Amino acid sequence: MKREAFKMYLKPGYEAEYEKRHAAIWPELKALLSKNGVSDYSIYWDRETNILFAFQKTEGEGGSQDLGTTEIVQKWWDYMADIMEVNPDNSPVSIPLPEVFHMD
């Protein structure tokens, strides 16, 4: 199992909306993530910078950010595009973060 972390950018003023949308994450999206080996997925919000820090454990080759070819992920990206910084395809601007320390 791999541990992966990345950061994304939330637009100012959309903190409550971001939480609301994730509290009601679509069951089919959650099932797709699980089916593709994504688990222990958390997203944290840095209030000072509006940076979202995400952490997940993955099995297999990719994580949640590698499922962009699926219809449900593309729909989620479109749904979230108004409140996050996104790329031209509406995928979130996502910067991988290298692990520099881990302790079990």
What size, in residues, is the chain? Answer: 104
Q: Report yes or no on 73 lying in a domain.
A: yes
Which amino acids are annotated catalytic?
22
pLDDT at 95: 96
- Residues 87-93 have a mean pLDDT of 97
CATH number at residue 54: 3.30.70.100
Q: Report yes or no on 103 lying in a domain.
A: no
Q: Report yes or no on 104 lying in a domain.
A: no
pLDDT at 3 over 90: yes
pTM of the model as a whole: 0.89
pLDDT at 60: 75
pLDDT at 15: 96
φ/ψ bin of 3: left (φ > 0), alpha (ψ from -120 to 50), beta (otherwise): beta
Q: Report yes or no on 102 lying in a domain.
A: no
Count Cβ neighbours within 10 Å for each residue of 19-37 and write b for 16 or more, e otherwise: eeeeeeeeeebeebbeebb
* pLDDT tens track for 16-72: 999 999 999 999 999 999 999 999 999 999 999 999 999 999 997 777 777 888 999
Taking the alpha carbons at both ends of the chain, their separation in whole angstroms is: 13
Structural domain for 15, as ranges: 1-95
Q: 84 and 11 in contact (C-beta within 8 Å)?
A: yes
How many domains does the chain fold into? Answer: 1
